[in-house]
Chain A
Amino acid sequence: MARGPVRASAIPTILTTLCRSASVNQKFHSPSLLRLATFIPMLRFITSRLLQSLLALFLVITATFFMIRFVPGGPFTAEKAVTPEILRNLEAHYGLDKPLWRQYLDYLGRLGHGDLGPSFKYPNRTVNEIIADKVPVSAELGLLSLGVALIIGITLGTFAAIRRNSWIDYLASTVGMTGISIPSFVVGPLLVLGLAIHAGWFNASGWYGPADRVLPCLVLGFAYAAPISRLTRGGLLEVLNQDFIRTARAKGASEFRVITRHALRGGLLPVVSFLGPAVAGILTGSFVIETIFQIPGIGREFVNSATNRDYTLVLGTVILYAVLIMALNLVVDILQAWLNPKVRLET
């Protein structure tokens, strides 16, 4: 791959590389042979990773299916015990009276058709419906929070790196450490106390009007901004010492241009690796934020399904989470190869 500082500002690159990858490629590596030469290993890489992911997914499903069954207590374990006859009726209804291996094969069969089964806890809803209903909410919360996290995190991290050991650096690390060490279940209620109860600007919780988005997104964004700012600072400091930055400065590029065009691209590499799992986590919902702010997202279902022993919902959410993590890690690997020539796509 041809090298050199590439003219693309870093943040849009992260968010749009996937859809623009073909055209970017063409622009900067115009000889078509070269393009083909990079494209084939990429294709091989993606195919092989997809196959690996499928295998991993199968293992995850199998392990989850059996593990949740071996946990004491079941979906119908209740404080008021039901009579054995009623319990048998219930189990027959859900097919739990069949041998476990049979249930496992039945589940895989249904899964093959995209059917995640009925929920045990919510009888008139299917797991597919619950996921379709809740994922958009968590995704909205996640994307907005991610925006907050990136803006705060990268800005603070960048300033901290440029003005190293100045008050702004100390401020950034203080904010960073605060964000990392104070959990959301403290920050959340504190913000509610100040901005909702005393100032009266917002509702204390809920997910009804647009104004209800502000507090949860700030709290969740703040939690993610902290590591992003520290990673940005670290990455940037490393890049700023390198020769090509000195070259850029020597050629008379303004400091702003040096930072935004030349340094950030390499400086954000650690952030990009962090974002893979972070985006998966943030999109599948935050149990704490969703509980504190009473947000009907998938994060709460993820945790509550396990306490309810809602077998099918546990599996459904685990599959969702696993697929997202695998997909995002793949995206991150590809992104990193684009951002950093030193990284090779290896299978």
Chain B
Amino acid sequence: MLTRLPRFVAVLAALLLSPACRQPKSAVETAGTTASPKVATASAPATAGGNQKKILNYGNGAEPADLDFQIVTGTPEHRLALTFFEGLINEDPQLKIIPGVAEKWEISPDGLVYTFRLRADARWSNGDPVTADDFVQSYRRMIGPTLGAEYSYMLWHVVGAEDFNKGKLSDFNQTGFKAPDARTLVLTLRQPTPFLLHAMNHYAWFPLHIPTLKKFGAMDRKSTPWSRPESFVGNGPYALKEWRANQKIIAVRSPTYWDHAAVKIDEIHFFPIELADTEERMFRTGQLHITNEVPLSKIPVYQRDQPGNIRIDPYNGIYFYRFNAKRKPFDDVRVRRALALSIDRETLVKKVTLAGEIPAYDFTPPDLVGFVSRHAFKADLTEAKRLLAEAGFPGGKGFPKVELLYNTLEKHRTIAEALQQMWRKNLGIDITLYNQEWKVYLDSQHSKNYQFERAGWIADYVDPHVFFDIWETDGGNNDTNWGNRDYDRLLRSALDAKSTADRYEIYQQLEKILVDEMPIMPIYFYMRARLVSPKVKGYFTTPLDNFPWKYADMEN
């Protein structure tokens, strides 16, 4: 019996120590991603299969919900969709529309009919040709009521799509999706939609391989295993090789992709890491080449010590506070304006948010595909005080109890505290802060059960329109109780505008209405900070925070 204790200890010790001894072996098996960090930091990232193999290790934020891109909604999923699929068109790093599966297209003079000519060499990862019917069938699935796809509304621009999605139309043949032959796809719109091509680089518009879907029962069934690596078929620059849940997703260069010669990196390994601190540590040991985020406190450190490793790029979104226009005191436009005019956004972005965010004095990110607001307001303390006095609260006297809601996150609390200080100092009003867990907060927001809340909006495609249509009266994402008939009418007419210049002119009028009525208070336009290893060449990110992978390369 006495011998048992030491033996027990020995077994445990062996269990714990053995990994250390076996480490070199694992380095070969796992090639640069997981292996001995020495290998990863000291030499080229790829050690397996010779020095030629280029492997990019990429921090992708969160575990994707699924790789069936018709039923997902997140940004980690968006980046994976652009890896494994390609739509009719594509965007280059400057967001210029370039051909994708369609080699060319024509738009009818009235802007209502889009005719796409598919390239002959477009192939699925199993070798099948990508046909126009694949697109039509995919769209049929996307807007089918049984699938319950959250992004199905992206397709509502097409005739009949909305009715079909809502179950009001049961005959799919009456919708505007048509495939006259294998290489021609025709979309008929219900209204000219000038930004349609940009919107089409969203995964809601990507095709799926119909025979693979059908292998697992009815095409519009959700939650079938078609999207697992053993059955997955895509048509993008990369093919899915491995998906280990919460571990990593391995994408390998697809030999069947029509433009495969342009794809430079052999493999991309996506790591689902939710914690910015963990990512930063993995970046330092060489486990990651690109991170999804940078811990707030580390941004100034990297900017000072290793400016070559940090990138800060514009991000297509706005951070703002939402007023509930039916709750006192925010039913009074003068109060809303007073609050918006009396904060120091420059100090806020410089001292608090730190990632070079752009102070927001209007409602669309600066120079968004050529749209620049003429109606931006200015911070104006005298005017703010005058407005507040006019509303019946001179010097903040008699100002009712106001509660600001934010979702539980350190950053939002810090920002709210800074603004709370500014209002106390500048207007003499006191604002109470309270926080709620993410989904509780969203529930309060959507049920308009708040007075005043922190919010953000990241657009799904690049066009000023996405920043205006949320403020339509009773729109699903408006949530302010604010509405304006003129605004709604102008917004609808924007899509019928004859030219981009005319359309932008309408947006200028919308800007004017928003600045005058201030249903929300813009604070800043987002920027996205990332750590990027100097080994990564030709790295581009677009304001949608995704990457045209074909342009990226790795140093050997």
List residues of chain A with CB under 8 Å of any chain B CB.
7-9, 11-12, 15, 71-74, 76-83, 85-86, 89-90, 92-93, 118, 121-125, 130, 133-134, 144, 147-148, 151, 189, 192-193, 196-197, 200-214, 217, 257, 260-261, 291-294, 296, 300, 307, 309
Contacts and interface: CB of A to CB of B under 8 A. Distances in A.
A171 to B, nearest CB: 20
Contacts of B435: none
Contacts, number: 202
A95 to B, nearest CB: 12
A151 to B, nearest CB: 6
A77 B73 CA distance: 12
B5 A11 contact: yes
8 contacts: A12-B5, A78-B442, A148-B12, A208-B30, A209-B19, A210-B19, A291-B278, A309-B439
Interface string B439-460: 1101110100000000010000
A330 B439 CA distance: 38
B55 to A, nearest CB: 14
Contacts of B167: 85
A147 B41 contact: no
B191 interface: no
Contacts of B439: 71-74, 77, 307, 309
Contacts of B281: 189, 192-193, 196-197, 204-205
Contacts of B438: 73, 307
A73 B223 contact: no
Interface string B92-119: 0000000000000000000000000000
B287 interface: yes
Contact of B65 (A121, A260, A261): A121
B417 interface: no
Interface in B67-86: 67-68, 71, 73
A151 B150 CA distance: 52
B41 A9 contact: no
Contact of A211 (B19, B223, B226, B273): B19
Given A12-B5, A144-B16, A147-B15, A212 B34 contact: yes
B245 A210 contact: no
A73 B165 contact: no
Interface string B31-54: 001111110010000000000000
Interface string B1-16: 1101100110010011
A205 B165 CA distance: 44
A296 B246 contact: yes
Interface stretch (B21-29, B195-203, B301-309, B423-431): B21-29
Contact of A81 (B1, B247, B446): B446
Contact of B37 (A196, A210, A293): A196
Interface in B210-249: 222-228, 244-247
A206 B40 CA distance: 14
B477 interface: yes
Interface stretch (B140-148, B318-326, B481-489, B492-500): B140-148
Given A79-B442, A86-B148, A200-B285, A209 B23 contact: yes
A296 B244 contact: yes
A202 B281 CA distance: 12
B149 A124 contact: no
Residue from A74, A77, A189 whose CB has the most chain B CB atoms within 10 Å: A77
Given A12-B8, A86-B148, A123-B223, 9 more contacts: A9-B2, A77-B443, A89-B145, A122-B63, A124-B224, A125-B245, A196-B281, A209-B34, A212-B19
B275 interface: yes
A135 to B, nearest CB: 13
B152 interface: yes
A8 B30 CA distance: 44
Nearest to A210: B19
Given A124-B68, A200-B41, A205-B278, A217 B148 contact: no
B454 to A, nearest CB: 12
B16 A148 contact: yes
A229 to B, nearest CB: 16
Given A90-B150, A93-B148, A208-B30, A294 B278 contact: yes
Residue from A74, A76, A86 whose CB has the most chain B CB atoms within 10 Å: A86
Top 8 closest pairs, chain A to chain B, by CB: A73-B439, A210-B19, A208-B34, A209-B26, A296-B246, A89-B148, A204-B281, A90-B148
A203 B148 contact: no
A173 B284 CA distance: 35
A185 to B, nearest CB: 9
Residue from B38, B166, B223, B437 whose CB has the most chain A CB atoms within 10 Å: B223
B542 to A, nearest CB: 19
Contacts of A83: 153, 476
Given A93-B146, A192-B281, A73 B443 contact: yes
A210 B26 contact: yes
Contacts of A11: 4-5, 8
Nearest to B273: A294
Given A147-B16, A148-B16, A210 B23 contact: yes
Contacts of A196: 37, 281, 285
B477 A81 contact: yes
A119 to B, nearest CB: 9
Contact of A209 (B9, B30, B244, B477): B30
Contacts of A90: 148, 150
Contacts of B153: 83, 86
B404 interface: no
B274 interface: yes
B457 to A, nearest CB: 8
Given A189-B281, A296-B247, A82 B150 contact: yes
A9 B35 CA distance: 40
Contact of A123 (B8, B26, B66): B66
A208 B33 contact: yes
A201 B23 CA distance: 10
A291 B26 CA distance: 23
B65 A86 contact: no
Nearest to A125: B245
Nearest to A73: B439
B165 to A, nearest CB: 7
Contacts of B442: 73, 77-79
A7 B1 contact: yes
A124 B70 CA distance: 12
A118 B38 CA distance: 42
B510 to A, nearest CB: 20
